[in-house]
Amino acid sequence: MKKPDFTTLTAAIALGSAALSMGVFPHGHVAHAFQASDDDIDDDVDDDVEDDVEDDIEDDVEDDVEDDVEDDIEGDVEGDIEADIEDQVEDDVEASIEDDVESAIEDDVEDAIEDDVEAAVEGDIEDAVEQSVEDDIEEGVEDDIEEGVEDDIEEGVENDVEDDIEDDVEDDIEEELDEEIEDGEEIEDGEEMGAFFGAQLEEELDDEDREYRSGEHIVVLDASDVSILTARGYRILETETLSGLDMVLVRVETPAGFDLALESELLQARDPAAEIDRNHYYETDESADGVAPAFYATSSPEAATPQRNRRIRIGLIDTAVNSDHAALKGQRIVANDFTDSAKSLRPTAHGTAVASILIGNDGDYAGVMPGAQLYAASVFFEQPSGKLVATAASLVRALNWMVVNRVPVVNMSLSGPPNEVLEAAIQAADERGVIVVAAVGNKGPAAAPLYPAGYSSVIAVTAVDHDNKVYRLAGRGDHIDFAAPGARIMAAAADGGYVSRTGTSFAAPFAAAAISARCEPRNVCNDRALLMQTLIDSAVDLGSPGYDAIYGYGLITP
């Protein structure tokens, strides 16, 4: 309880005395004062004053106590409330700061990752674009230089000199043609008059002047990735699942601004096994007294016995085959067509000739492996110009068919430019036990390697004559594996009868037959290293001792 205020008490007593002296009490008190004695009045006054003072004191004390209690309570309550508010504010501020910090960290991390990814992608794209631009600039500079030199030459040469040069060229060509005719040979494919004068082709040419179907590319990739082609703006012309090679082949028209190198990089980033390339054209390799193929098998008479060969399967990817020819009629031939052009003519001359060298059998005429079963894949069609071509896509489909039918050795008497998709298909076939034998081509000794013979997994074959001299137009290089007879070989003509043929096209089937004969009885083809060593050990060394770039390891034997 609060202590009494003595100042207030003294004032109250003084006030009471003044009141008494002034006679200001109520009437009842005055009347009583007249009747009572002075002592009584003093007692009453004292009592009244004491009561009033006590009441005043009690009221003051209670008021002071209430004020103090209220102040204490309000202070406590305000303190508690302020403490609670401060705690809540601190908690809220900490939570907010933590959220902000976490968000800031996450944003920084995401931004850093995005920046790194974008930088990597931009770097790859910039490298590809820079390379493409550099290539374009180099090509443009080369073209400009060539055009400038040509213009200077044309301006410095008089018309009569040009006429003399043309006359000399024509005379040289006529003399060479006369020599070919005197030798009894047909003109090589690619040596026609139009080739000498640079005849214009209807087909498009790539950067190295190699023909391909205009605006068309081919892709091999996993089935699950086909959708990315349409997403990138390709127009799909045809999609085919190649179960034997375990891949999908897609023919496409490419979008505007297409860059082959960049697209190849982007596709392989999604599917490392994917390949894309132009749908290149490939040609037969030939040129026409002749010797029947069986002549070269006399060192092993049993090799030409049909019954001995019946269990052998051999593949041929070429033109269509005239199975009604006397040399082929009644022979075991399984044929299929893989050409891209449904409405174009299907030539038969080249394929019929090669087929007769392989399995032909007609009385006095016999191939090197009569009685064997031939899987003949037609891939060539005739262009409006009369030229025979096969596309890379058709070759890939034909290879897949060979794998599906478990054909161990496939002859490809054709050649053309390197092609990423074709190479992938040949590699896949090789991994599945199929051996591809190919002609090296007839573009001359100085020509760059032709394909598929140029691929390491393919056995490349050149041609030699009766004296084991290399054919003068046969390709040369470190990719050549073996030589085989390929000059003046008697072969079936498409319209009946026989004709002499010369070229690496007609050497390849000799090698294919020799390999097939070795594969079947001993199952050697499952071991490529063992097969190659067997072929090398049995080959007749030609040219410089040991391996050389003209004859390879030498003449392959039956």
Q: Give the mean pLDDT of 111-130.
A: 53
Could you tell me if 333 and 376 are in contact, meaning their C-beta atoms sit under 8 angstroms apart?
Answer: yes
What pLDDT score was predicted for residue 243? Answer: 93
Average pLDDT, the chain: 75
Banded model confidence at residue 414, pLDDT cuts 50, 70, 90: very high
Which of 394, 364, 393 has the alpha carbon at shortest distance from 379?
394
Distance CA 276, CA 93 (A): 60
Render pLDDT for 246-283 as a digit per residue (tens, 0 to 9).
Answer: 999 999 998 878 888 888 998 888 888 899 999 999 98
User: Model confidence at 403, in pLDDT bands (50, 70, 90)?
Assistant: very high
* pLDDT of 399 above 90: yes
Mean of the pLDDT values across residues 280-295?
A: 65
Mean pLDDT value of segment 408-423: 97
Region 513-526: mean pLDDT is 76
Q: Amino acid identity, residue 433?
A: G
Sole residue written with tokens 């002296």: 21
**Out of 77-91, 185-199, 325-339, least confident range:** 185-199
DSSP notation for 143-211: HHHHHHHHHHHHHHS-HHHHHHHHHHHHHHHHHHHHHHHHTT-PPPTT-SHHHHTTPPPSSEE-TTS-E
**Confidence band for 284, pLDDT divided at 50, 70 and 90:** confident
Instruction: Report the amino acid identity of residue 239.
Output: T
Distance of CA 513 to the CA centre of its chain: 36
Smallest CA-to-CA distance from 190 within 286, 281, 288 is with 286
Average pLDDT, integer, range 87-103: 60
Question: Is the pLDDT assigned to residue 21 strictly greater than 80?
Answer: no
Q: Is the pLDDT of residue 140 over 60?
A: no
pLDDT of 383 higher than 70: yes
* Residue-wise pLDDT tens digits, 485-509: 999 999 999 889 999 999 999 999 9
pTM for this structure? 0.63
pLDDT-derived band at 294 (thresholds 50, 70, 90) equals low
CA–CA separation, 398 and 277 (whole Å)? 18
DSSP 408: S
Query: Is residue 413 a contact partner of residue 349, using CB atoms and an 8 Å limit?
Result: no
* % pLDDT > 70, the chain: 58
Would you say residue 194 has pLDDT above 80? no
The CA-CA-CA angle for residues 472, 476, 480, to 5°, reads: 125
**521-541, pLDDT tens digit by residue?**
556 677 888 889 999 999 999
pLDDT at 212 (0 to 100): 83
Amino acid identity of residue 270, one-letter, is R
What pLDDT, on the 0 to 100 scale, is given for residue 33?
42
Q: How far apart are CA 154 and CA 146, in angstroms?
A: 12
Task: Tell me the CB-side half-sphere exposure of residue 424, using CA atoms within 13 A.
Answer: 23
Residue 344 in 3-state DSSP?
coil
**380-to-140, 320, 362, 393 alpha-carbon distances in Å:** 35, 7, 26, 11
Token duo for residue 288 = 């026409």
In the chain, helix, strand, coil percent, each to 5?
50, 20, 30
Asked if 441 and 513 count as a contact pair (C-beta separation under 8 A), the reply is no
Collapse the DSSP code of 79 into the 3-class scheme (helix H, G, I; strand E, B; otherwise coil) and give the result. Answer: helix
pLDDT at 11 over 90: no
Q: How far is it, in rounded angstroms, from Cα 376 to Cα 371?
A: 15
Supply 488's token pair. 């003046």
Average pLDDT over residues 295-309: 54
Question: What phi and psi, each to the nearest 5 degrees, are found at residue 109?
Answer: -60, -50
- Given pLDDT bands bounded at 50, 70 and 90, which one contains residue 344? confident
Sheet with 482-485, strands from edge to edge, namely: 333-337, 373-378, 313-318, 409-412, 435-439, 458-464, 482-485
Per mean pLDDT, which of 120-129, 163-172, 327-336, 520-529 is the most reliable?
327-336
What is the Cα–Cα distance from 126 to 135, expressed in whole angstroms? 14
Let me know: does 490 contact 481? Beta carbons within 8 Å: no
3-state SS, 224-250, equals HHCHHHHHCCCEEEEEEEECCCCEEEE
